[in-house]
A and B are shown apart, each in its own frame.
Chain A
Amino acid sequence: MSSQSFALLFPYLIGLSAVLFTLGVVGVLSRRNALIVFMSVELMLNAANLAFVTFARSFNRLDGQVFVFFVMVAAAAEVAVGLALIATIFRTKHSTNIDDISAMKG
């Protein structure tokens, strides 16, 4: 890694991060399958991670990368609980379509 590597590309990296985040938002808003909504949330977290690493490099510090580490831990916890919820709901409703999951009581 040269010290100049990617240096001129920082605005474009932030732009790529914004585009990926937007695609995640569109996925959450448009898809009906709870699993794909979850994947879109992961896409948004990854886009945020790209912005964190880009800013860490442009400030020449590691705090951004440490934050990416924390985001990954939060994402792992979220996926574990979320997929457990989806599996439990599927057992009673026999569906992962979020239109079918409109009642609070199972």
Chain B
Amino acid sequence: MTGDIILFVILAAVAIVSAISMIITRNAVHSALFLVIVMAVLAVLFLGLGGQFIAMVQVAVYAGAIMVLFLFVVMLLGAERVGARSGLRWQIPAAVGLGVALLVIAGLLLFQSQPQPIAGPEAAAAFVTNVSGACADDVQLAARLGAVPGSPCLIGDQLFTTYLFPFEVVSILLIVAMVGAVVLTRRPWERAK
């Protein structure tokens, strides 16, 4: 347990310092790289919380694909350094003040809320009763650990049974976004034809 606490404190410190650096650094490329660090730290936390599949997707999709797209656009536009002078002098103090207010409200809610009892092995057993036979290994693992592992098989089982309709909607969303991106970035003279 002590090892978990030390690990968490280190990871949390790295995440917060990287997030602050991402906001205050002047260079957009540095911002993107600090954001990659935050995402990698979150992937490690996901692993500690039993989300193996989500952790790998986090590294591959977020830290990989999405951040490469960001870096690509930053370098394509040559927008590493945008003039820092804002027209509004009070903007940064106002932003920090509103952020502190949000954090105070969130902290108050967190301290006032009743601590949720952590669901034990019986919740895991109840969850895996309806899982298809293809994931028998993961069901046995869940029984042994007393916790549901976020394995690809179990997540896939959820996606194609309980969440089948949202899954299909989200696939349409991706196609629409892809077509939209292609249409938006066409050159004007091609658009006229």
A residues with a Cβ closer than 8 A to B are 1-16, 18-27, 29-33, 35-36, 38-40, 42-43, 46, 49-50, 53-54, 56-63, 65-66, 68-70, 72-81, 83-88, 90, 95-97, 99
Contacts and interface: CB of A to CB of B under 8 A. Distances in A.
Given A5-B4, A62-B154, A79-B70, A39 B116 contact: no
Interface string B51-70: 10110011001100110011
Nearest to A33: B82
Interface residues of B, number: 89
Contacts of B54: 49, 53, 65, 68-69
Nearest to B55: A53
Interface of B: 1, 4-5, 8, 12, 15-16, 19-20, 22-23, 28, 31-32, 35, 38-39, 42, 45-51, 53-54, 57-58, 61-62, 65-66, 69-70, 73-74, 76-77, 79, 82-84, 86-87, 91-92, 94-96, 98-99, 102-103, 106-107, 110, 115-116, 118-121, 123-124, 127, 145-150, 154-155, 158-159, 162-163, 166, 170, 173-174, 176-178, 180-181, 184-185
B150 A29 contact: no
A53 to B, nearest CB: 5
Contacts of A79: 66, 69-70
A79 B118 CA distance: 35
Contacts, number: 250
Q: Which 8 A-B pairs have the closest CB atoms?
A: A77-B177, A29-B95, A30-B95, A60-B119, A26-B99, A60-B123, A84-B184, A84-B181
Contacts of B150: 53, 56, 62, 65
B87 A58 contact: no
Given A6-B49, A35-B28, A30 B79 contact: no
